[in-house]
Structure 1
Amino acid sequence: MTTFRWRLGVLLVPLLLLGAAPPEPAAPARARMRVVFLNALGTGGGFSRQFRGAMHAAAHDLDIELIDIDVGHWPGQILEQARQAVSGPDKPDYLITSIHRGIGARVLEVAEQAQVPVFVVNSGLALEERARFGGPREHFERWIGQMVPDDVGAGDRLVRLLIDAARARGRSSVKGPVEGPVRLIAIEGQWGDTSARQRHLGLRQALSAEKDVELLQSVTAAWRREESQRKTFLLLRRYPELQVIWAANDDLAMGAVQALEDAGRRPGEDVLVGGVDWTPEALEAVRGGKLVTSLGGHFLEGAWSLVLLYDHHQGRDFASERIDWRTEFLPATRASAAGYLEVLGRPDWEAFDFRAFSKAANPRVKHYDFSLQALFAQRHGRMDTNGNP
């Protein structure tokens, strides 16, 4: 009998233990959201400083751990850095990258294989890659979205603004009044970059629709200011009758301005120049009359992408509105440049509250408003598209 009771007790103990509710484990501390940014924008330019400054401020507001990695110039180097960024046990929750040097699909494939969601900013797939692979959430499921500028529209709008300014001012050159078409040259970016190619398409699109306009020559300066200065100086000697210089970004535009001054020409008077990016130096040149315009506003794409990814991480998928975002360029004019410079000349990005644009952080936000007016209103009241309060 004793042996039976002992055996029964041995059998009952585990059954009783199975029926007892175990104590609930303590909930693990929630780790910070971790994002890697593969930065191919460079470190020294005004546009890059604005882009990174706003992005880091947004990361701070949203409590995101942002790892900002400068990638190299060569395609193989960029691809290897992408592999390293998404490999290993400490891989990020998200990867943000811009597409350069014609290796966009391979970078997206690396993220796909690592099962890391990727968001593209600033420069997207080349047109031939887009035709093959489609857009976000199509061929590459982990490519969850993108926010890129309307570069074709920028190239088109810039040349139209310059041509209109030349016609309004009256055509002249170093040789005196000019008859016939408006004559211009184009200083292009790095031809392998999507943004450079699309701005070139915009240029050609506008020229095909314009009458009495002649493109004298188009040259690449690979986004380098010194190269723009050197080539513009040579082109001025070849084409002393030129009246307009279309530049693919502000660094190239300012290189052209320097070449004009070195040649004894008058930028903004007998030769009209325009660029893209809204760098503080370019805005100063617009305000001073040396540049006709600079198109910009896309420097906030990094910050806005973090807002979207933060919401996605919190279960609020931005696909409810869209997955393919396009940033519209706004022209800075002599009248509006001062308003933009007030904010961008010495930007204090920490003074802005990027958390206010998040749906997850603010249930009252029903639709994303990624406009400059909404951001600038936090400090200076409502601002219109001309940079005026």
Structure 2
Amino acid sequence: MNALLRIFLATCLLLTWLPAQAASVVFLNPGYSTERFWSDYAAFMQDAADDLGMQLHVLYGARDTRTILANAHAVLQRKEKPDYLVFVNEQYVGPEILRLYADSGIKLLALHSTLTPEQRSRLGGPREKYPNWIGSLVTNDEEAGYLMAKALIELDPQGDMVAFSGIKQTPSASLREEGLKRALAEHPQVRLRQLLYGEWKEQRAYEQAKALLPRYPDLHLVWAANDEMTFGVMRAAREQGRKLHYTGLNTSERVLQARIDGRIEVLAGGHTILGGCAMVLLHDHARGLDFAERGGTEQQARLLRLFNQREAQNLLAYMRKPGEGLDFRRFSAQRDPQMKHYACAIDALLR
């Protein structure tokens, strides 16, 4: 193949990825801009936007419903409105956002946490009562809670357990709790002494564990729905000279190092890239490749999985030198229009 032909083919391939007008997306991020999980989450979304030739604007809600809704109102006041708005049903704000945007002409995607069954009974699903709510993308939170609990119980099949969940009004926390309860039902010999709501915060879990641990001298197992709460319990246990088995969930550098060191023996993660996967769905939708034809309007990406120490090491290396592991174009139906289901995955970062 001569040089001119190679240049011609490369140019043709590039042109297929350059939209006439880049699709624009606003993400109502429910977290803090300084909160590592949600800032990493947004960073992967920006990586995907760059790969796919899209525009992304992230508005942080500081885990406060008033701020999240104020951000939603502000978007509607813009002279140039986005093509898509991505929202999270954090603290159950989803229905209000659906009502607010009903006649806006902006297409909506629920991400990370979609409507609860009770909310759906009143409002329906995507493309029903609210036609501009085009879909949802969540991850396998229930399965993650189950896998963490199963692996934790294997470390001490007769041990007592305490559990730390997030915020009650967060669907992802509730689903992880359901997974925990499913595993406990399979192991009735394990006693769950108490389930507390640490609100995802290290300091909150530390204060709770400091008061809780002395009550249960035979306690050996600690299940937690994220990594920050795990570190809070670990600090309290260390101060009291207790040796416990821990789970954690997330992919911060801190928790990956703790998994490598063996201080946390059960670690789940992978869902940080979910927002990037959502950008793929919206990119395809804007190009006339409706994701509903490739898995339905309500999709689940099974991103959450357990990490062994080697995988944690590889992922930590990527986190410290990002930009070389994922090209989100590989997950798009534009690359394979005959694709039946999306297969967005973090596996490339673990090798």
Does TM, normalized by the shorter one, top 0.5? yes
Aligned with residue 328 of structure 2, among 347, 354, 370: 354
Hey, what does 2:250 align to over in structure 1?
Answer: 277
Offset at residue 102 of structure 1 (A)? 1.7
Residues 1:299 and 2:289 aligned together: no
Encode CA deviations 1:168-203: one digit per residue, 9 max, x unaligned: xxxxxxxxxxxxx42011111011111112212222
Hey, what does 1:252 align to over in structure 2?
Answer: 229
Hey, what does 1:234 align to over in structure 2?
Answer: 211
Report the CA distance shift for 1:227/1:64 in structure 2 as closer, same or farther (over 3 A): same
Cα distance in 1 between the residues matched to 2:98 and 2:324: 32
More deviation, 56-65/46-55: 46-55
Cα distance in 2 between the residues matched to 1:239 and 1:143: 48
Matched positions, count: 330
Cα distance in 2 between the residues matched to 1:184 and 1:287: 23
| Structure 1 letter corresponding to 2:185 | S
| Structure 2 letter corresponding to 1:297 | G
Hey, what does 1:159 align to over in structure 2?
Answer: 149
Hey, what does 2:132 align to over in structure 1?
Answer: 142
Hey, what does 1:372 align to over in structure 2?
Answer: 346
Aligned with residue 191 of structure 2, among 214, 232, 235: 214
Residues 1:95 and 2:85 aligned together: yes
Aligned with residue 202 of structure 2, among 225, 241, 256: 225
- Percentage of identical aligned residues: 29
Q: Is the 8 A contact 1:257 1:290 kept in 2?
A: no
Hey, what does 2:239 align to over in structure 1?
Answer: 262
Q: Is the 8 A contact 1:86 1:116 kept in 2?
A: no
Offset at residue 336 of structure 1 (A)? 3.0
Cα distance in 1 between the residues matched to 2:321 and 2:126: 32
Cα distance in 2 between the residues matched to 1:59 and 1:274: 33
Cα distance in 2 between the residues matched to 1:186 and 1:102: 23
Offset at residue 129 of structure 1 (A)? 0.9
Offset at residue 350 of structure 1 (A)? 6.4
* Secondary structure of 1:145 counterpart: strand
Question: Structure 2: 5+ residue runs without aligned partners?
Answer: 1-18
Encode CA deviations 1:242-266: one digit per residue, 9 max, x unaligned: 1001101111111112222122223
Residues 1:205 and 2:182 aligned together: yes
Hey, what does 2:69 align to over in structure 1?
Answer: 79
* Secondary structure of 2:218 counterpart: coil
Cα distance in 1 between the residues matched to 2:149 and 2:31: 24
Question: Structure 1: 5+ residue runs without aligned partners?
Answer: 1-28, 168-180, 377-386
Cα distance in 1 between the residues matched to 2:275 and 2:182: 28
Offset at residue 206 of structure 1 (A)? 2.0
**Larger C-alpha radius of gyration, 1 or 2?**
1
Aligned with residue 342 of structure 1, among 310, 313, 317: 317
* Secondary structure of 2:276 counterpart: helix
| Structure 1 letter corresponding to 2:331 | F
Hey, what does 1:290 align to over in structure 2?
Answer: 263
| Structure 2 letter corresponding to 1:333 | N
* Secondary structure of 1:41 counterpart: coil
Cα distance in 2 between the residues matched to 1:297 and 1:74: 25
TM-score computed with the length of structure 1 as normaliser: 0.79
TM-score computed with the length of structure 2 as normaliser: 0.87
More deviation, 100-109/45-54: 45-54
| Structure 2 letter corresponding to 1:246 | W
* Secondary structure of 2:343 counterpart: coil
Q: Tell me how large the CA RMSD over aligned residues is.
A: 2.0
